[in-house]
Amino acid sequence: MASVSNSDRRLIKRASDFLLERYEPKRHHAAAAVRCGKRSYLSLHLDTSGFDVCAEASAVAKAIVAGEERIDAVVAVLWDGSKGCLPAVVPPCGDCRQLLLEYAPSADVLLCDEEGELLSVKAEELLPYPYRSQGSFKLLDFAKAHESRVKHPKERRVN
């Protein structure tokens, strides 16, 4: 864990300002910003009746579509539209942690600790036991090793 830099604070402000500008009840209650070098990309959470698209995922997608090869920092903010309060920095959900691990493992993810202090954590630290589709679990090897213990039903012939 590291302290938050001035450029991190500017990224948080950009995400917060964007959400304050674009907030729409039951549609957009979160925003995210990703920093890639000197450029940053902003996005909103998309609420739908079928599924949601997280702001972090769409911000990362915008950066990738723009041709970015490295994501330096990511932040998400949440706001319920209440007057008198500002958007709050929130940690990424499990799906976004997996996405960040795969697309930006060395990115700084900005979040708050239990006391509300801002801090920066590497994306790869947020998900200690990630899903891996190939290689890590060796599912086929496991099945082969236990094949002798599995009793297969005898084939039945229908007359």
Alpha-carbon gap, residue 76 to 122, rounded angstroms: 15
Domains of the chain: 6-127 (3.40.140.10)
- Decide: residue 61, CB within 10 A, 0-12 exposed, 13-18 middle, 19+ buried: middle
pTM here is 0.80
Q: Find the Cα–Cα–Cα–Cα dihedral 75, 16, 2, 100, rounded to 10°.
A: 0
Confidence band, pLDDT 50/70/90 cuts, at residue 103: very high
Report pLDDT digits (tens) over 116-149.
999 999 999 998 888 877 654 444 444 445 455 4
Confidence band, pLDDT 50/70/90 cuts, at residue 68: very high
Question: CA Rg, the chain, in Å?
Answer: 21
Alpha-carbon gap, residue 132 to 135, rounded angstroms: 7
Q: What is the pLDDT, as a whole number, of residue 26?
A: 80
Residue 46 has pLDDT above 70, yes or no: yes
